[in-house]
Amino acid sequence: MKRIAVLASGRGSNFQALIDAIRDGQIPAVCVGLVTDNPAAYAITRAREVGIPVRVVDYTLFPEKGAFESALLAEMKSLDADLFVLAGYMRILGPGIVREFSGRMINIHPALLPSFAGLHAQRQALEYGVKVSGCTVHFVDEGMDTGPIIVQACVPVLDSDDEERLADRILAEEHRCLPLAVRLYCEGRLALIGRRVVLDKAGPGA
């Protein structure tokens, strides 16, 4: 049974999707902790409702980023997790943390990477005029949303869309794709070959 931990900064709807998938037996793992930089995050409520330990590392309490990163790294190490999942974590992790957990940290992004990395991906897609958008689950590397891609899903961009409507449609796919990617990782079915993530169809969870 794998140990996973989640980093989230806000409402935590993707965190909830993971909680539900673990509860339903879809992911062979236990969630050992939520780490957040935001003491007001609703994700904290979601964690406490199901007894998941919460670690708050409040960015505003640190004099500079280096001190914050050191505290965050210490909390992450203390969880002894096999996999860290960034589920709406809104800060860029420093290279020290990324290297420490290389190959053991994944992120969900509301666009079809490599297009529209960074903040406000749905707004970027609408402004560019694309006809298809979606979401991407990828391994975290030292760039911004540049790591090897694990899972992607597409949604149409409609003429009537605004940022909120498109975000809602993408979010429904995020709630499906993130648990899938975590399940594949926990089943040992993901192999990283260069930049390509290859699925082992004959793995133990096939």
Residues tagged active-site: 109
The strand pairing partners of 29, in sequence order, are 2
- Classify residue 1 by its DSSP letter: -
Rounded to a whole number of angstroms, the distance between the first and last alpha carbons of the chain is 16
Please write down the long-range contacts of 124-131, taking CB distance under 8 Å and 24 or more positions apart: 125/157, 125/166, 126/157, 126/161, 126/162, 126/163, 126/166, 130/157, 131/156, 131/157
